[in-house]
Amino acid sequence: MTKCKICGKESLLIAQTLGVCLDCIRGRFEECLPFIQDAHKKSRIKFGLPAEPPRSQSGIKCNICINECEIPEGEYGYCGLRKNEDGKLVHLVNKDEGNLEYYHDPLPTNCVASWICGEKESYGNKNLAVFYNGCSFNCLYCQNWHYRENIFHQRRITAQDLANQVDNRTKCICYFGGDPTPQIEYSINTAKIVLSKRKVRICWETNGCMNTSYLKQIAELSLESGGCIKFDLKAYHEEINIALCGASNKRTLENFKILAEYDKQRDNPPFLIASTLLVPGYIDVEEVSKISQFIAELNPEIPYSLLAFYPCFYFSDLPTTSKSHAEECKDVALKNGLKNVKIGNLHLLGDAY
């Protein structure tokens, strides 16, 4: 049991590292903010990453994502992949060289979109899974948190070398991580190299906070190739997104609206997919209701996947998502008009809180 540092309530659904409850984040955010900032600082400095997006008046600005870091001399941007050296913005990754890992997954995979993307019948073929070391968010429950250990040490891979991993049995490429956003130019370049030689579905799985100019480029590539874009809508309210992920979700929601227009160009397979991780105590039915209303107003046919949470990283003291909570969230999403809603990671679902 953890006691909320604002209201004093005790609950199994309050993460000790964060120390504040959902009600206070929603209703008393300014009071919660120092504890939120402290939690994110604690989770980043051990990896040598900036505690928050730098805001130096004399710094160099990076416009790749929502953070729009203003990086002071000799220091790194929030993602750890850009540095101000002698007054110049040095990209430790670029369109030709990335910091990543890759592997081949036999189809069908456990991809967020596997239930509707059309590849579930592709037995004997494979997916090229591209895991990017780096992220524009800092989720306290990150289930792939180990990428932080590789940001400053991982071997770089050229776009051409990655493209060469695609063969006749490769039906799709999925960019994920971490997140593709800090290395978006590299992912776009690799996709273009691949598509110049063969037809392969190109998919992005992302928090969606990239600069809109990049968003439009990946939209065109996914549409052209028959791939999809999977947005992780982590929260609806900005305050909750900041508390859980250390960054605003305003750009994510704006970009999702833009992609909903692209979505009208193709019915099958679906172009745009949304997902939300049901973090106990923080992503409740109200939050899912707001997210599903947002999606339904754009297009009720957009598939929505509700994913089960398991204790991890700095939220290791929270329980797994309960079956009853997942089912209640699915019911409200359907009631709000969505036609395609699925509960993912069923094997993780636990008992009632």
Go through the domains of the chain in sequence order and give each one's CATH number.
Answer: 52-92 (no CATH), 97-348 (3.20.20.70)
Phi and psi for 290 in degrees, rounded to 5?
-65, -40
Q: How many Å apart are CA 128 and CA 126, to the nearest integer? A: 7
pTM for this predicted structure: 0.96
Among 209, 229, 210, 211, residue whose Cα is nearest residue 219: 229
Helices and strands, counts by H and E, the chain:
9, 15
pLDDT (tens, 9 = 90+) of the chain, 353 residues, equals 999 999 999 999 999 999 999 999 999 999 999 999 999 999 999 999 999 999 999 999 999 999 999 999 999 999 999 999 999 999 999 999 999 999 999 887 878 888 788 665 567 899 999 999 999 999 999 999 999 999 998 779 999 999 999 999 999 999 999 999 999 999 999 999 999 999 999 999 999 999 999 999 999 999 999 999 999 999 999 999 999 999 999 999 999 999 999 999 988 889 999 999 999 999 999 999 999 999 999 999 999 999 999 999 999 999 999 999 999 999 999 999 999 999 998 889 999 88
C-alpha gyration radius of the chain: 20
Sign of CA dihedral 109, 111, 114, 117: negative
CA distances (Å), origin 227, targets 29, 233, 272, 307: 39, 19, 9, 21
Q: How far is residue 165's CA from residue 173's CA, in Å, rounded to a whole number?
A: 10
pLDDT on residue 35: 98
Place of tokens 């979109």: 113
φ and ψ at residue 120, rounded to 5 degrees: -70, -15
What does the alpha-carbon distance between residue 232 and residue 14 come to, in Å, rounded to a whole number? Answer: 22
Closest by CA position to 259, among listed 299, 221, 219, 210: 219
CB 249 within 8 A of CB 234: yes
Cα–Cα distance, 321 to 59 (Å, whole number): 42
Cα separation, 324 vs 339, whole angstroms: 20
Report the pLDDT value the prediction gives residue 121, as an integer from 0 to 100.
57
Six-digit token pair at 248? Answer: 């605003």
Q: At 61, which helix (H) or strand (E)?
A: strand 60-61
pLDDT at site 119:
60
